């Protein structure tokens, strides 16, 4: 698949919808550009853990780990 994109005066491009769909990227995701003698390659930059960016957002102030969660539940139950 080939699609064309134009570079703005600020060096920005709009990645065509079909390419974003194939790469599986959404707004806020990062792309990695690799260049060599033959040309350039564009790949999505993936975190090692897909859920890492969500860690800690659901329970502010609650430490992670089993002991912290068990302690929190006991505190809620009044034990």
pLDDT at residue 31 in the model: 93
User: Bigger pLDDT: 51 or 72?
Assistant: 72
Q: What pLDDT does residue 52 have?
A: 75
For residue 29, the enclosing domain spans 1-46
Same-domain status, 5 and 19: yes
What is the CATH classification number for the domain harbouring 7? 2.10.260.10
* Total tally of structural domains belonging to the chain: 2
pLDDT for 22-40, tens place per residue? Answer: 999 999 889 999 999 999 9
Distance (Å, whole) CA 53 – CA 61: 17
**What's 34's DSSP letter?**
E
CA distance 79 to 65: 19
Q: What is the pLDDT of residue 33?
A: 93
How many Cβ atoms are within 10 Å of 31's Cβ, its own excluded? 14
33 and 57 co-located in one domain: no
54/37 same-domain check: no
């Amino acid at each position: 698949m080939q699609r064309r994109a134009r570079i703005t005066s600020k060096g920005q491009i709009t990645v065509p919808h079909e390419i974003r769909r194939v790469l599986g990227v959404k707004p806020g995701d990062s792309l990695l550009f690799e260049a060599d003698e033959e040309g350039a390659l564009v790949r999505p930059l993936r975190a090692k853990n897909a859920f890492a960016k969500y860690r800690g957002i659901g329970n502010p102030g609650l430490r992670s780990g089993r002991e912290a969660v068990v302690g929190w539940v006991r505190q809620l139950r009044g034990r």
